[in-house]
Chains A and B, each alone.
Chain A
Amino acid sequence: MSSSNSIAVQVRGVTKSFGVGDSRTVALKGVDFSTREGELHLVVGPSGCGKTTLLSVVAGTLDWDGGEIDVLGTRLNGMAKGAVTAFRGKHVGFIFQQFNLIPTLTCIENVSVPLLLNGRHRGEAERRAAELLTTVGLADTGRKRPTELSGGQQQRVAIARALSHEPRLLICDEPTSALDSATGHQIMDLLATAARKPGRCVIIVTHDPRIYGYADRITVMEDGRVTQVLEGEALRHFIETHQ
């Protein structure tokens, strides 16, 4: 990828704390973070370092205390909650560690959810969902429920769901943690392919060093702060030392 690609996400001096008084925990202590279009960007660090909190505020699913956040050219600061929700529904796709597929719906219905939320008709949404399931290698599972599938298959359904409405930003929270190595690599291949689409970027929060090799850039966090941003030679060295 080219470093001249435009900035997709820009976070400047963001702070976030939870609780009050003695129980107050500062999760983000003035974080600066940016990612570019066409990039697969990993955010790594020990548990509790604030990477999931960073992901949540970038996605607009969590309010933050201070700092500025621009996502895909839109300033999230000061936006009404409803507007943030609408923005997220249109431009952001999610992949979760625990898949978060609705167990009482079929795979096609699960995948069609973002399309329905974006105003597509049911028939059209389900046709598109079926196509996407085929794309992720699950052509025969459309009428099955997620509970009938393996973990890897469920995550592929989740990827199809996340991509169904063609979002420009893909937010992934530990997408391979619950999967074995081979399945994890299949999932990462899909995500890396998705990231290559023009105008899109993928941010992945992970503990899993097996997937570092897929990164175009890695941001390392520690104790609520960004400690390193790695790309190029430094990134290759980091990957070698962690695998």
Chain B
Amino acid sequence: MFHLALKMLMGDRAKYIMLVGGLTFATLLMTQQNAVFQGLLSWTTSHLRNMRAAIWVVEAHVESANETKPLRDTDVNRVRSVTGVDFAVPLFQGILRAKTASGADKQVMLIGLHGATLFGRPPQMLGGDLALLRLPNTVVIDELGVQRLSQGRSRPIAIGDTFEINDREARIVGICRTERHFFGYPYVYSSYDQALQFAPRQRKMLSAILVQPKPGLDAAEVARRIGAETGMRAFTSDEFAKVTVDYIWKTTGIPVSFLTTIILGFIVGIAVSGQTFYSFVLENLRHLGALKAMGASTWLLARMLLLQAFTVGLIGYGMGLGLTALFGFLVLPIGQPPFLLQPSSLLLTGVALVVICSFAALLGIVKVARLEPAIVFRG
């Protein structure tokens, strides 16, 4: 009987398309929005992955990795004096104006690395020589920087070209690849001393201290010790990522906004599929009554309805995921909007679809359970 149930479902083309369409749309909405949200959350901690420091030491009131409150230069030595610290290096990070060849201003994320160690160096060099950062006025830019700073040039900006950062000339000595920063600005790397030349002068210029614990020591324990002895906040990279994500959840409307859209997708799925499937059952009530009269039990009819609901659910789920993946393939090379499709997102949408299909089937099953087969004798 189950093959007939599927033929009954697919034979009603309009309702079948409406059901699959509604569930595809619901899946797309829930999965795509979840992926964009996960991507956005991933961006909030991309800076930590780009720098790859074991321990971050920041000012006592810093609440996320994307926030900078300056420290005193002497704080580096205070950290170095803590037991268990193998080495500690200063880091400058700040948003500065860069001028393109066309004269337009572009914001960049300037990173000043400790000159001797270049600790926190870019994750991947695509060309040039990072060591040349030790020369005056030199920088390494990432691919987004190439894209943004090429404005007004006949060809993309490249190694050997110059541009201005805060009215000072910067010469490109390397191109690197980074994960995009939460703020969406391109990374421009220089030495720490050079960064202080590019940046407007302030009383305190040190943004953070990057620390490597001694081999064999637990980074979390060393971070706790640094915090206790210096009064600054010290996090392992994972702890800092968690604090940053928590900060986004608690202090911004971003999660609520995405959750609202995801919930709307769920409601649209429930409403469209529930209403359409119920209408499908109502239109077939006479036939279901005839089947009941001919000896089909309520349990058999319920299983037929479940099969129908879950078939359209599975097709809608597959098509929705396909469209989400297509969206991902289209936007990932561009780099925005953020997109991170995780297995947990697929599972979550799958569970939502199961709930939607069960609800839709249940509406029909209740109707069928109450159906008197004698309905077939009414004119």
On chain B, the number of residues with a Cβ less than 8 Å from chain A's Cβ atoms is 28
Is A56 in contact with B290, judged by CB distance below 8 angstroms?
Answer: no
Q: Closest A-chain residue to B13, C-beta based?
A: A104
Residue picked from A62, A104, A113, A118, most chain B C-beta under 10 Å:
A104
Task: List A contacts of B11 (CB < 8 A).
Answer: 103-105
Is B254 engaged at the interface, CB distance under 8 Å to the other chain?
Answer: no
Closest Cβ neighbor of A177 among chain B residues? B379
Question: How many whole Å from A42's CB to the nearest CB in chain B?
Answer: 16
Contact B376–A94 (Cβ < 8 Å): yes
Contact B295 A117 (CB under 8 A): yes
CB distance from B288 to the nearest CB of A (A): 9
Q: Which residues of B contact A34 (CB under 8 A)?
A: none
B12, B291, B374, B378: residue with the most chain A Cβ atoms closer than 10 Å: B374
Residues of B with C-beta under 8 A to A55:
377
Please indicate the chain B residues that have their CB under 8 angstroms from the CB of A92 in the complex.
Answer: 295
Which B residues are CB-close (under 8 A) to A122?
A: 3
How many interface contacts (CB-CB < 8 Å) are there between A and B? Answer: 83
Contact call A85/B4, Cβ cutoff below 8 A: no
Decide: A88 and B293 in contact? CB cutoff 8 A: yes
Q: How many A residues have CB within 8 A of the partner chain?
A: 30
Asked whether B1 is an interface residue with its Cβ less than 8 Å from the other chain, the reply is yes
With known contacts A61-B377, A94-B290, A173-B377, A102–B8 Cβ distance under 8 A: yes
* Docked complex: A151-171 residues within 8 A CB-CB of B: none
Please state if A113 and B4 are interface contacts (CB–CB under 8 Å). Answer: yes
In whole Å, how far is A86's beta carbon from the nearest beta carbon of chain B?
7
Find the residue from A82, A92, A116 having the highest chain B CB count within 10 A: A116
Contacts of B293 in A (CB 8 A): 59, 61, 88, 94
Q: Would B7 and A117 count as touching, CB distance under 8 A?
A: no
| B interface, CB within 8 angstroms of A | 1, 3-4, 7-8, 10-12, 284, 286-287, 289-297, 300, 372-374, 376-379
Interface residue ranges, A against B (CB under 8 Å): 52, 55-56, 59, 61-62, 82, 85-86, 88-90, 92, 94, 96-98, 100, 102-105, 109, 113-114, 116-118, 122, 173
